[in-house]
Amino acid sequence: MKEPLIALTFDDGPHPEYTIQLLDVLDSYNVKATFFLVGNLMEKYPDIVKQIVARGHAIGNHTYSHPPNMELETHASVITELDRTDAVIKKITGMKTDLFRPPKGLVDGNLLSIAEQKGFKTILWTVCADNREAPTPELMAKRVTDRISPGAIILAHDGRYKSRWKDVAATPIIIERLIIAGYHFVTVPELIAAGQIQDKGIGK
């Protein structure tokens, strides 16, 4: 019987306050996560990117400038967004990632095709903690735990808005409840390697 694995992911960082707080929370539970990072913010906070990697977490490409809708970008613009972020990651960490997550999860066949041609796996999610119907950290955690199953990918956020303190506060609640429920947290690459990633991985 396979161990029920799930992946916790964070979008839109790095952020000088929220990302650091989340790294400390994750360390306290010995949980490894996957951070989908924005290129121009990585250039601004390279030391935080190095911390993410040094603490054993995975990183993914979340575009260079976080366009509002990647589906509307030109072919050349999509390639630029991916390539610039790829170059920033390599410059800061010496590593290359094959994970890509489009901002807001907005993706069409053309974008998927470009990402695949560039060697990326497009990773979306099963459940997002942030939702209008979940205005508090407690309700955010409940939203996640009510919708979870083995192979699920959880989306939370560590950047762009001041409200991300809620994601920080919700994270230990999510972790504790799912550990009690028998789940084991892994990075997205580990989830893929274990063959447990949910194919449907899409949601708001």
Catalytic positions are 11, 157
DSSP string, the chain: ----EEEEEEEEE--TTHHHHHHHHHHHHT---EEEE-HHHHHH-HHHHHHHHHTT-EEEE--SS--S-GGGS-HHHHHHHHHHHHHHHHHHHS----EE--GGG---HHHHHHHHHTTPEE---SEES-BTTB-SHHHHHHHHHHT--TT-EEEEE-SSSGGGHHHHHHHHHHHHHHHHTT-EEE-HHHHHHTT---TT----
